[in-house]
Structure 1
Amino acid sequence: MKKDRLNVYFDPILTGELESLAARRKVSKSQIVEAALASYLSPDGADQREAAIVRRLDRLTRAIERLERDLTISTEALALFVKFWLTTTPPLPDTMRDAAQAKGRERYDGFVEALGRRLAKGSTLTKEVSEEGNRSSTNQ
């Protein structure tokens, strides 16, 4: 089949990338440019790109919905725990208040330190619970 010859100009960086790709794929630069141009000019090329974008957006939407659901569950669980704890914990007598506040600050500092270590390691309670659930379901 007869082909027309075209002289085109490319940015030197793009030319280098084209030469590199042609060498890796062991095809001519003309074949790569011809395929790219055919794809660009194809009437359904835009539809294919749009469909790919829509699929990615759908995946992102589902992921965000899962995150929102998980955040709602976590927030509700924490709020319920705090409400339960506050309603069942009796108030301290005035004589013990200072010692209890000092102990509370010490425990809180330890809690923040432990939280920082766990997050730095990438370890979360959610992952641990999930892994334990997976182990127990395979043992049954």
Structure 2
Amino acid sequence: MSRYRLNLFIQPEHARRLDELAAKKGVSKSSIVAAALASWLSPDAGDRREAAMAKRLDRLSRQFERLERDQSIQIETLALFIRYYLTVSAAVPEAHQDAARAQGRARFEQFIEQLGRRLLRGRSLVRDVIEEMQPPDHAIGERLDEVAAQAEEHGL
């Protein structure tokens, strides 16, 4: 079997790692490069790379779909809350506007503090409420699973 001589330029870091691997395995650098090249050029190597890439893309697609579904649920939840709040909130008379603004600022600051504490703890309010209110038969969790499955079926 004849061989061809090649002069290649590689990154210094790759050369160092090639030297280390050859010394560790007790083989020539040429045999390592030849094996790597054979693996890269083999027909099934491309299939393996494509399969690995497809698997990763599928996983990323599923993650993106879950994120999109969760975002849709969050937007819908916020919209429903805003509609409810605007429906039940009474207008503040002009004479009480300054006091209402001051109270609003105080409440908002309290909200931001609570949000910061929750984010630092890394816990979800929804999960906390579910755990606190969960009946023995786990009906709430099962219902949430059903709703999530239905939302997923409808592309939410």
For structure 1, the 5+ residue unaligned runs are: none
Q: Kindly provide the amino acid, as one letter, of the partner of residue 127 in structure 2.
A: V
* Gap change, CA 1:31 and 1:56, over 3 Å in 2: same
Q: How far is 1:68 from its partner?
A: 0.1
User: TM (normalized to structure 2)?
Assistant: 0.67
Separation in 1, partners of 2:66, 2:58: 12
Q: Kindly provide the amino acid, as one letter, of the partner of residue 64 in structure 2.
A: I
Q: What is residue 72 of structure 2 aligned with on the other side? A: 72
Task: Deviation per CA, 1:52-101: give whole Å up to 9, x if none.
Answer: 11111111111000000000001100110111111012223333332121
Q: Kindly provide the amino acid, as one letter, of the partner of residue 42 in structure 2.
A: S
Separation in 2, partners of 1:37, 1:45: 11
Are residues 1:106 and 2:106 paired? yes
Alignment: residue pair count = 134
Q: What is residue 125 of structure 1 aligned with on the other side? A: 124
For structure 2, the 5+ residue unaligned runs are: 139-156
Q: State the identity %.
A: 45
Q: Which has the higher contact order (CA 8 A, sep 6+)?
A: 2
Q: Kindly provide the amino acid, as one letter, of the partner of residue 123 in structure 1.
A: G
Separation in 2, partners of 1:64, 1:90: 40
* Gap change, CA 1:130 and 1:96, over 3 Å in 2: closer
* Gap change, CA 1:116 and 1:33, over 3 Å in 2: same
Q: Kindly provide the amino acid, as one letter, of the partner of residue 15 in structure 2.
A: T
User: TM (normalized to structure 1)?
Assistant: 0.73
Q: What is residue 92 of structure 1 aligned with on the other side? A: 92
